[in-house]
Structure 1
């Protein structure tokens, strides 16, 4: 056994032929986190350097969408394994990072477990600085190491065969943050054998050289307008805030910004480029979240459009922004109708739903749901009407996409809204009724099935192993050949305006479609979680079915609806939608300004 600190660790890893010292479950979780919460953040193209790449397993993951990727490791055995991996952009070399520099600069750098092996502080500090210096402005550094959390002190471990150091988390992070990097993601993976020892995965970001800053009113003495930001994550959710955006833009006392954030979810393939293209088509000015100096920018108010912090990078999670912003607001991302105790936590127990300065809701009934189910009550809930509904106040004059009208032709279109939660018997009937629904429309050539799947449905099928990407493509082609119209436009108003009726699982559309006055069939999952109080109230005005016979009866009955059928539903709009007049966005701006004293 060597008496020189660090030599045993160096020799162990130089001779290693297996780098997997933890339980397999940790590496499976690492894959999930990298694919869901890390890869969508990383810039497309560019170069990756993975220092301490081992057998290249995670180099291969992080190299996705890179022009080239280089993995280096001390062990010739591990590099030989890594070279068995396919990929034209992958290259692996034997190298000792402690005695060699890093050549060039990279948009992505990674190190999975390296620094626990660099037991000498001088090696750790030198390599950390080397990696920071090799990171391009705007680039990302992905780290994983075993550290000491929960206030436990640094621990050094050494026996006859193995040597490692488990540094305190704060000191470890400060080694990188001290050079100006920003922490944007943090995920504990697994606990170690020592109390407080945890493997943690981090993502750090190097600010671009031209980071955008929003000055405070004090800094901009001649500019006294309120600084307001809308956090935009999903193209499909822009309709939730489009009228709010217009009201903010039209107010000369407000400087409004749209901040484009990722939507990080295992069942959704978020694309920065696709999101940018959508906002560009709408002519909406925006700044991408990682181009903004969030620490120096001073917003007076921020509007959240999703309650789930896990879908956002750390600097844009609720408690982080609450410390820096005077007024936090939440526009509910959906019109909540789902039942089940777990769903109540999802809807009313998230930090932004509980602690925002204001939550703006569609009706007194929606506010009463906060009174019953939100741990902080409804004192912060404002009945303003939901800005999502502003776009439906004049649906009859909405310009439907001509391509959709051409697809429908002379047929009457029936909208089918399918939820994605079929694997856990929650609300979806997709697995129960899809085949029957497809067959029902095949037997009725006068009807067009306008299939609008939940944005998470396709990827959920893939993640469950029911279909792969090729299988999804084949299914979509087959449906098209059968005359089914798959509508995935971000703006659902095209489908609302073009359809003569709707069939829907539990979901926002079940509430929202009421204002059209058109017939609705609520598709019941007999084994599922059902509806909450508001959902139960609205389906009193709808037909219901849980089998093929019920679906067929609804379709066959579309011609024989009572004369007052549409008016009966339109008459109860005020019960579910306060001030359904297209002005909810303006009311929200007026309330915000009053609270801020503007």
Structure 2
């Protein structure tokens, strides 16, 4: 796919929306592929900060950029689904129970973004779920999780299936791999993740997020750094257990107002991004 716009140039106009919210520093893939981005007819970007980052980068860049917001975040402009109608949870009708999402990332091996912490956080989160039957948990792995685990030799296919089965065997836990997932996000009380885009995609819920970190991971880009103050961090099992106890068990959340103040960065327009993109396309006809 990395040369598709170049091959279509002169015959088909190519418009592009990046699949996630770019918060990790991965400049070439996000806006610097030489046979991709310079040949785009339109690049619809979520924020002016992303345009500024492209304009300050070296190398090729898209010729026409439009700030529209990100269509994924249009979900937050609609009313939230009632908690007891979100059926992805193990006890959906028990809406008063606390709910936690564990969303591990697949980038574990050298040469990747190295965001993944599953070698320690996978067993740690399973232990936490086993120790707290009064709380409901969802395992929401990245779609490439099995591949990342295999490439990094953290787990083979059989071990990954056994881990998933152990999670699903708990009466207070479930496996959630469906899309879209924003109704599930909005019906939860917290997220634990080492993902990139989910750091941004979850923040408009205004619920607390624990970011799992590793020292050799790709850093946040300049946009990601603007809202890093809104989430908590842990880089080992002891820190994770401490954060979990404070946020979930004790209900202490000193960053609540910080997150609320950051939401306009991620949902910058009252009009849905999809509508803005359609309006831009129609204006060019």
TM range (shorter): 0.7 to 0.9
1-structure distance, mates of 2:2, 2:134 = 45
Give the root-mean-square deviation of aligned CA atoms. 2.5
In the alignment, which residue of structure 2 is the partner of 1:517?
206
Instruction: Tell whether 2:121 aligns with 1:433.
Output: yes
CA distance 1:551–1:408, shift in 2 (3 Å): farther
Q: Who wins on radius of gyration, i.e. which is larger?
A: 1
Aligned equivalent of 2:49, options 361, 365, 386: 365
SS of the aligned residue for 2:227 comes to: helix
Aligned equivalent of 1:455, options 143, 160, 163: 143
In the alignment, which residue of structure 1 is the partner of 2:252?
561
For structure 1, the residue ranges without an aligned partner over 5 or more in a row are: 1-307, 311-316
In the alignment, which residue of structure 1 is the partner of 2:24?
338
2-structure distance, mates of 1:460, 1:401 = 33
1-structure distance, mates of 2:136, 2:259 = 24
Aligned equivalent of 2:78, options 355, 369, 394: 394
Residue by residue over 1:261-297, the C-alpha shift from the partner in whole angstroms, topping out at 9 and shown as x without a partner, is xxxxxxxxxxxxxxxxxxxxxxxxxxxxxxxxxxxxx
TM-score scaled by structure 1? Answer: 0.43
**Matched-pair contact (CA < 8 Å) for 1:330–1:352:** no
CA distance 1:472–1:548, shift in 2 (3 Å): closer
**Post-superposition shift, 1:360?**
0.9
1-structure distance, mates of 2:145, 2:57 = 28
Residue by residue over 1:359-402, the C-alpha shift from the partner in whole angstroms, topping out at 9 and shown as x without a partner, is 11111112222122362346522111111111222252378765
Q: Size of the alignment, in residue pairs?
A: 277
**Post-superposition shift, 1:330?**
0.6
SS of the aligned residue for 1:591 comes to: helix
**Matched-pair contact (CA < 8 Å) for 2:31–2:37:** yes
Matches within 5 A, 1:499-538: 499-538=188-227
Aligned equivalent of 1:324, options 7, 11, 26: 11
Aligned equivalent of 2:109, options 408, 415, 423: 423
**Post-superposition shift, 1:409?**
5.8
Higher relative contact order (CA 8 A, sep 6+): 2
TM-score scaled by structure 2? Answer: 0.86
1-structure distance, mates of 2:158, 2:20 = 31
Identify the structure with the greater strand proportion: 1
SS of the aligned residue for 2:119 comes to: helix
Residue by residue over 1:408-437, the C-alpha shift from the partner in whole angstroms, topping out at 9 and shown as x without a partner, is 564311112211011227111112321122
In the alignment, which residue of structure 2 is the partner of 1:570?
260
In the alignment, which residue of structure 2 is the partner of 1:133?
none
In the alignment, which residue of structure 2 is the partner of 1:413?
99
1-structure distance, mates of 2:114, 2:151 = 17
For structure 2, the residue ranges without an aligned partner over 5 or more in a row are: none
